[in-house]
Chains A and B, each alone.
Chain A
């Protein structure tokens, strides 16, 4: 069964600190993996997208990694800011359908 699991479910960190969010998936056949940031009540915004041949992709203070062998991905946030408070969703696209597989998300709260 195609699944995407994220951990932790929620996280609280102090402003300026770094954090890493995890994503494990069992989706097959695999096309790409995406990380989205979603503010409460707003649509998801794409942070990174990686295919199986890409190990690392950066977008400003966000760095995503992908290990296609172990089917794991991480999203590292450097020097967190209050505006980073949001849900972060890991999404995997199978190559045989147009239906994305969503993780349950990690809710990040950055405190001053």
Chain B
């Protein structure tokens, strides 16, 4: 298995809703990442987990809450989002070093 699987592919949520994005990989990668990407812009790093521990938080608002239950799973819990949080959310995983950096196909999030 050489894929990073993200679910759901599309999500529409109200500003008072609570939802979660899920990411899964079975490549044995020990680093997992959440990125946010707005239209026509490059991905922006949000969080990095290394060996299931949060190693980087790029000053992301607390309405985004990451969780890494095990080495294969990464969740992003969403609560009280704003319309400007609408974007493509990408998960990625890596072995570290030279290669093995793989992106998922993303979750298109719309906040209404």
Do A and B pair up? The answer is yes
Chain A residues within 8 Å of B, Cβ to Cβ: 31-32, 34, 36, 41-46, 49, 51, 89, 93, 98-100, 102-105, 107
- Tell me the nearest residue of chain B to A50, going by C-beta: B98
Q: Are A103 and B42 in contact (CB under 8 A)?
A: yes
Q: A41-B88, A44-B43, A104-B42 are in contact. Are A98 and B96 (CB under 8 A)?
A: yes
B45 CB-CB contact with A under 8 Å? yes
Residue pair A34, B101 in contact (C-beta under 8 Å) = yes
B11-58: which residues lie under 8 A (CB-CB) from chain A?
A: 31, 40-43, 45, 48, 50, 55-56
> Which residue from chain A places its CB closest to the CB of B48 in the assembled complex?
A98
Q: Across the interface, which residues of B come within 8 angstroms of A36, CB to CB?
A: 103
Mark contacts of B71-104 with chain A using CB atoms, 8 A cut-off: 1 yes-contact digit, 0 otherwise: 0000000000000000010101010111101111
B106 interface residue per 8 A CB criterion: yes
Q: Are A43 and B105 in contact (CB under 8 A)?
A: yes
A45 in contact with B31 (CB, 8 Å) = no
Residues of B within 8 A of A41 (CB): 88, 106, 108
Instruction: Return A51 CB to nearest CB of chain B, in Å.
Output: 6
The closest CB in chain B to the CB of A32 belongs to B98
* Contact between A98 and B31, CB atoms less than 8 A apart: yes
Could you list some 19 contacts between A and B, CB below 8 A? A31-B97, A31-B98, A41-B108, A42-B106, A43-B92, A43-B103, A44-B43, A44-B90, A45-B103, A46-B102, A49-B99, A89-B42, A93-B101, A98-B94, A100-B45, A102-B43, A103-B42, A105-B40, A105-B42
